[in-house]
Structure 1
Amino acid sequence: MAAVPEGYYESTNPFLVHGPRGFEEFKLLESFGMYVRMDFPGVPEECVRVSLDPAKKSLAVYADAPKVHRYDLAQRKYLSVIETVCRCCVFDRFTYQMSDGVLRLHLSKSNIDPSHSSCIEFKYSAFGEDISGNDMDESYESKQLEDGNLYVRLDMPGVPKDNFTVSVANGKVNVTGQAPALDHDSGSRLYSSDVVILSGPVDFPIHRVKTIIKNGVIRLLIPPV
């Protein structure tokens, strides 16, 4: 039984087969507003903090993804920053909602310099690391356990708990997830991948695979065959 090599992504989840690419999405709204979607797989709503700096020129999003299973490599921490790059505007209001490992942010700007027309210029920065400071842009991790089981974690942000499907066929374990388009998302997202190759072209009842699904992350315990 072999795990698929670990997935690394700087801009797009490797399991995404259809839908908007990238772990963030920006859209300008009416009334000088902005919509931002940010993927924070594994982060529950209570572990998100959004802060506007006193000058109202930048907004920071802090998010923590706790270890859910004892075999998780580490806690993950995220930081995203949105900044205005002009002198004429400031951020004045924001609201957000967190669900299934995705944060959706509504942000508005106001003009503080009447001599200039309102602009739409901004800069975005994103960082991800584990609690020790190691890079954590990995969407997949696996661990062979002493009892013969294989532990696998996959990030599929935006997928509700009941939209995951796990199947075993022809010696492969496949995970598929459908993330619906919410709010101002430009479209739904479909994830799918064969995440484990078994030792032979065997099938076994799916109930033998234990799953933990939480905050856009699915964890599998796959028995030996």
Structure 2
Amino acid sequence: MAEATILDMSRVPYIPGRIHATNNMFQRYGPKGFMEIQILPNDNLYVRVDLPGVPDDAVRHRVDSVRQKVIFFSGETLSDEDDKKNVREYTGTSGLGCDCCEITGVDAKMKDGVLRMIVSRVKVKDHHNKCTHTLPPNTGKSGRYSMDEPSFNMKKAEEPHPFVVKGRKHSYTSERTDDGVFVFSVDLPGVSSDDILVLPNENEVKFYGENREVYEHDESCRIFMGAISHSRFRVPGIPLLSHNIAWDAEFGSQSPYLTS
């Protein structure tokens, strides 16, 4: 059985009600949305893209060589022979929406399932209108859970990931394997494996994740929290802590699992 860890709640900011990110039902605090774009003081762009599950060295990006206004990025999660059905592949674009500028360079870094890019640009012709940048529709909103409805019934209301071209598009999945192991996977983009706590008790398995390392252009940390209820494991009459509970986490994705 996994050893429970004591959580210091004094570090956790006040989070009113049951507000969550509409693209991730477990995100309760911090920048929301699958992508974020900021115009920096030096007129460069900061682009943050969530690609949970993609290793730090498995993301690719390039600038359109013809128009030099669009960045193409892609990546895929790790796979093995026994888990090919859970592989996810991502493909997307970002860039400029104006006619007066061109991209001159991209400084990209991938860490814990988050791609961060500093996009340099230069003005190539005069333009009287304000320069713009392209941004997908799912850019970060807040919602509220229904107090009478289990959180796992909220999947239909959750925004699907717009850059997933293969695999699951939502922030979590659960399954029971052929050997009886119940596996629950949840996206925690930006959270390292050292900053995740899993707290099982007789009724549920709680989890908490916080990206304590806030990057220069991120407005704040992000906090994720949730719980997997005893009923999800479909083991009536058997105390939850009578099972073996373990978990692992990497590349902004976490998987608690339970065995008999």
Q: TM (normalized to structure 1)?
A: 0.83
Mapping of residues 50-199 of structure 1, within 5 Å: 50-54=61-65, 55-67=67-79, 70-71=82-83, 73-113=85-125, 115-116=126-127, 119-125=130-136, 126-130=162-166, 136-180=168-212, 181-198=214-231, 199=236
Deviates more, 1:153-162 or 1:191-200: 191-200
Gaps of 5+ in 2: 1-19, 137-161
Instruction: Provide the identity percentage.
Output: 25
Residue 50 (structure 2) aligns with? 39
Amino acid at match of 1:70: D
Segments of 4+ moved more than 4 angstroms = none
CA-to-aligned-CA distance 1:129-165 (integer Å, 9 cap, x gap): 22xxx6x311111111333321111111111111111
CA RMSD of aligned residues (A): 2.5
Structure with the largest fraction of strand: 1
| TM-score, length of structure 2 as denominator length | 0.73
Alignment check: 8 A CA contact 2:47 2:117 kept: yes
In structure 1, list runs of 5 or more residues that go unmatched: 1-8
Structure-1 separation of matches of 2:70 and 2:93 = 7
Counterpart secondary structure, 2:169: coil
CA–CA distance in 1 between the matches of 2:93 and 2:220? 24
Q: In structure 2, do the counterparts of structure 1 residues 195 and 67 end up closer, same or farther at CA, with 3 Å as the change threshold?
A: farther
Query: What CA distance in whole angstroms lies between the structure 2 residues aligned with 1:10 and 1:187?
Result: 15
| Change over 3 Å in CA distance of 1:71–1:162 after alignment to 2 | same
User: Does structure 1 conserve the Cα–Cα contact (< 8 Å) formed by 2:27 and 2:223?
Assistant: yes
Q: Distance in 2 between matches of 1:117 and 1:108?
A: 21
Q: 1:24 to 1:202 in 2, by over 3 A?
A: same
